[in-house]
Chains A and B, each alone.
Chain A
Amino acid sequence: MADPVFFELLHAQIVKYVEERQTKDTDLSSLDTIGFTCGYKIIERLTRDWPKFKDELEIVKFICTDFWMAVYGKQIDNLRTNNQGLYVLQDNMFRCLNKIAIGKEHLQVAPLYYTFTCGLVRGSLANLGVHCVVNAEVQNMPSVKFHIQVNRL
């Protein structure tokens, strides 16, 4: 496995690049799209030796364990669901934020650093057949809660 520092530095630069080029203050959609494409493709590679998933919950659990371990070197710390398509994944030491601050400092830049991951999760789930919307919230750096809302027909 490659040294995680390469992804860290590259991701930070991608965020800076997008930040400098956005025309409106809160337009982070390009970061989300980049994440989506990456997620869509990487999930193919990550699940190539796996059998078909039983149900939606198994897929989300896979994201919390093997997927998060492969991408961020750790597992999701807490998973909650309302069993109706809403999942909350909590990472208390999110790798894209843990070098920036602890507590409330720099809280306003947190969205810049979790948007790529939101896209990543959305893309991975999309290729596994789960279509959803992924958002996140940060109350204390570097702890992030990712909200996955699955589109139920």
Chain B
Amino acid sequence: MVKIYNLYIFNNAGTLLHYAEWNRTKQSGITREHEAKLMYGMLFSIKSTNKYALHFYETPTGTKFVLNTDSTAGKMTEFLKNLNSQIFVEYAVKNPMVDLSQPIKNDLFSAKLDAFIKGSSLYVS
């Protein structure tokens, strides 16, 4: 069973499209925006530590998913692939109200994402 901390979704230009957290134990003390920029920069120089696992999945169109979990998680590629196809594509890409060059402000997307994470067999709160 995996403990999921939080999730960042970036578009191909590095804009943070969506951020959601489920079990964040520490706040970073900087603004969300700043943190997202640092996270994106860090993506290219990640080091694995004992404390957490960072999972990265990039689609052919350059959309990047960054998921942080505890270190008991195995390979999460399948999970992130499903996240993309069942949630991101359905409720963000196919949503006429969503502009993919800007952060996603849509309750339905947030609700579906939350339900997906919590409903997955990997989630432990």
Interface residues of A (CB under 8 A from B): 5, 8-9, 12, 15-16, 99-103, 105-106, 109, 113
- When C-beta atoms are compared, the residue in chain B nearest to A141 turns out to be B108
B106-A15 in contact (CB<8A): no
Min Cβ gap B85→A in Å is: 12
23 contacts between A and B (CB under 8 A): A5-B94, A8-B94, A9-B94, A15-B96, A16-B96, A99-B90, A99-B91, A99-B95, A99-B108, A100-B95, A100-B96, A100-B97, A100-B106, A101-B97, A101-B107, A101-B108, A102-B107, A102-B111, A103-B107, A105-B107, A105-B108, A106-B97, A109-B97
The 4 nearest A-B residue pairs measured at CB: A12-B96, A99-B95, A101-B108, A99-B94
Give complex CA distance A102, B111 in Å. 9
Q: Which of B11-47 contact A (CB under 8 A)?
A: none
For B107, give the chain A residue with the smallest CB separation. Answer: A105
Interface size, chain B (Cβ < 8 Å): 10
A61 vs chain B, min Cβ distance (A): 31
How many Å from the CB of B107 to the closest CB on chain A? 5
**CA gap between A105 and B105 in the complex, in Å:** 11
> Which B residues from 77 to 119 make CB contacts under 8 A with A?
90-91, 94-97, 106-108, 111
Kindly state the separation between the CA atoms of A103 and B106 in the bound complex, as whole angstroms: 12
* Across-interface contacts of A106 in B (CB, < 8 A): 97
Nearest-CB distance from B90 to chain A (Å)? 7
Could you say which residues of chain A place their CB within 8 Å of the CB of B107? 101-103, 105
Q: Please, which residue of chain B has its CB at the minimum distance from the CB of A105?
A: B107
B125 smallest CB distance to A (angstroms): 24
Q: In the bound complex, what is the Cα–Cα distance between A8 and B91 (angstroms)?
A: 12
Choose among B91, B94, B96, B106 the residue that contacts A105 (Cβ–Cβ < 8 A).
B106
With a cutoff of 8 Å between Cβ atoms, the chain B residues found around residue A105 in the complex are: 106-108
